Amino acid sequence: MNKTLFFLILTLFCVLTESFFSMFEMACVSLNKVKLHYNASKKRKKAKWLEFLLNNPSYLFGTTLIVVNTVMQIGSESARRFYESINISPDYAPISQIFIVLIFGELAPLFAARKHSEHVAYFSIPLVYLLARILTP
């Protein structure tokens, strides 16, 4: 695989990862807390994990911040390298990144998460809960 394709795929992967965590964060905040508490009382594992993260917001937001900041750094640098590999000044990379990240990494996932908060939260919780446990000091 040539480096142009590699950096393009890496940049898109970073935007996708950021959108996943942005969507999960909004889904958790928009979740019906009464329904979540009911599901947790029925000993449903995903509901218990969600309840744990919502009762300990430092785990939820800390995990989200660490992952999002990491992929944003990697994504920004890989976008610069992508521009460099196609013989365009890497100084133009932030201009395109602003729009791509804003639309596909933040706004679209936030709207989707508000509309489908329960599905997003329950689908995403295993990975986020695992990362929260790994990143806990």
Average per-residue pLDDT in the chain?
Answer: 93
pLDDT at 134: 94
Look up the pTM and report it: 0.89
Predicted confidence (pLDDT) at residue 8 exceeds the cutoff of 90 = yes
pLDDT at 137: 77
Work out the pLDDT band at 18, boundaries 50, 70, 90: very high
User: Could you report the per-residue pLDDT of 112-124, keeping only the tens digit for each?
Assistant: 999 999 999 999 9
The domain of 43 spans 3-134
d(CA 7, CA 85): 9
Cβ distance 68 to 22 under 8 Å? yes
User: Could you report the per-residue pLDDT of 40-96, keeping only the tens digit for each?
Assistant: 899 899 999 999 999 999 999 999 999 999 999 999 999 999 999 999 999 999 999
Q: How far is CA 104 from CA 64, 96, 98, 123, in A?
A: 17, 12, 10, 19
- Domain count for the chain: 1
Structure tokens at 20: 């996943």
62: which residues sit within 8 A by CB, 6+ positions away?
A: 132, 135
